[in-house]
Amino acid sequence: MQTMGLEAYLFNIEFIEPVLEQDIVDVFDKIGMTHLTEKFKERTDKNYGSYYFELRTENGLTEGHCILAPTDTEISDFSLRFSVVSPKTVIDQTFDLLKKLNDIKPINVYDTEIKNHVYRQLRKDKKVDDWFYGLEGTDEEAKIEKGCSIEIDVEKFRQNQLGLMKRQIVLNNEKGEIIESGSTTIDHIEKKGLFERFFGWAKNEL
């Protein structure tokens, strides 16, 4: 089973008004996220640029990633994520960040895991392909996108009314690991023999 992507809880954050490239680091600094300069890739006329940010505390690790195309001089959205092995306190930390950001630069928050949940079901029903393609430009696609929008309300997030298993796993983590998503989390899960605990749910959706 392909596990990449299953190891992180992912949000897409959309700025109501785009942020100029020269202001990106300052905006994230104001909400307490550290710019990871060692991972920074400068945008050029021919190459994409990438900014990486993190908030690492005893409550967990929240990671942010901004991408700029060669012709971009501003960003309209970015991704935010945390590892599924994080302590559940990472959820409060992440929503505190979102509230702070919304106060200085109004945002819309989209829960990518809602979208993935819906599309995995559609894939089982053969309505989209293995890569979730098949609904481009349709009313159904627009409805799904709208349904992924969530309030910046941690209590509603905790209620998990859609029964998202990935969200519930993090909600159940009384203790957890403060580590990066991606291969770092996957390696940790494999070494600790925790595959079934953190990825077993996906068998019913993939």
* Tens of pLDDT, residues 95-108: 999 999 999 999 99
pLDDT at 140: 85
Mean pLDDT value of segment 114-139: 84
For residue 3, tell me if it sits in a domain: no
For residue 107, tell me if it sits in a domain: yes
For residue 109, tell me if it sits in a domain: yes
For residue 2, tell me if it sits in a domain: no
For residue 16, tell me if it sits in a domain: yes
> Is 177 within 8 Å of 90 (Cβ atoms)?
no
For residue 173, tell me if it sits in a domain: yes
24 has pLDDT over 90: yes
**Percent of the chain residues past pLDDT 90, beyond the cut:** 67
How far apart (Å, rounded) are the C-alpha atoms in residues 61 and 188?
A: 15
pLDDT at 3: 43
Q: Which domain holds residue 22?
A: 8-204
206 has pLDDT over 70: no
More confident residue, 83 or 135: 83
pLDDT range class, residue 1, cuts 50, 70, 90: very low
pLDDT at 31: 97
For residue 176, tell me if it sits in a domain: yes
202 has pLDDT over 80: no
> Is 105 within 8 Å of 66 (Cβ atoms)?
no
Geometric angle at alpha carbon 70, from 67 and 74, rounded to 5°: 55
How far apart (Å, rounded) are the C-alpha atoms in residues 55 and 61?
A: 6
Give every CB contact of residue 169 below 8 A, 6+ residues apart in sequence: 84, 197, 198, 201
pLDDT at 203: 64
For residue 1, tell me if it sits in a domain: no
How many domains in the chain?
1
How far apart (Å, rounded) are the C-alpha atoms in residues 123 and 112?
A: 16
